[in-house]
Amino acid sequence: MSRLKTPALEDLPDGATQVLDKLGAQLGFVPNMFKTIASNPAVLEAVVNLQGTMSRVLDAKTRHTIALAVSEANGCAYCLAIHTYVSSGLGGMSSRDIELARAGSSVDRKRAAAARFAQQLVVSRGRVGDEDLSAVRDAGYTDPEILAIVTVAVQALLTNFLNNVNQTDLDIPAVGAASESA
């Protein structure tokens, strides 16, 4: 059960309802995470704006791969479920690629390097080694793209932390442990 109060739609602050309506139109439903953070318009704006801005960096499958890799490394059940839903339903990723992303890999060599680097960011708390940077560069990423990988990873960490603190109620099918996914 969620630990933070999710306001009723009629109790939301001004402007939050429109943001939630837009998200609902994009995703087909309004995820519980957004319903909860709508109680604080500044947090809702920060999360939605960051997601909107980061949707313009890297390609969608790479962003989804990073989000899945980070959510697995950070143990966020809600984020794993929502990113699996979005990656497969809207992002065109296969179940195999989703499984690999959770393990810090991909069917695509370049995306695999981004996933490994993103997981290393989480494990090292951002203190990656020279070999980690070399590996992601050797896969073909430029320094500006590495900055994008870091920011997409931080975006995923932000929602991981919000959902882990809240223990957000799942409003989509849960995903099994990485070793159980197929």
DSSP calls for 124-159 = HTT---HHHHHHHHHTT--HHHHHHHHHHHHHHHHH
Which CATH architecture describes the domain 11-54? Up-down Bundle (1.20)
Tell me: the pLDDT tens digits for 6-42?
A: 888 888 877 899 899 999 998 888 999 999 999 999 9
Confidence grade of residue 181 (pLDDT, cut at 50, 70, 90): very low
The residue whose two tokens read 């680097």 is 117
pLDDT of residue 178: 67
Question: CATH top-level class for 60-166?
Answer: mainly alpha
Domains of the chain: which residue ranges? 11-54, 60-166
Q: 65 CB contacts (<8 Å, ≥6 apart)?
A: 93, 97, 101, 106, 111, 114, 115
Confidence grade of residue 101 (pLDDT, cut at 50, 70, 90): very high
pTM attached to this predicted model: 0.91
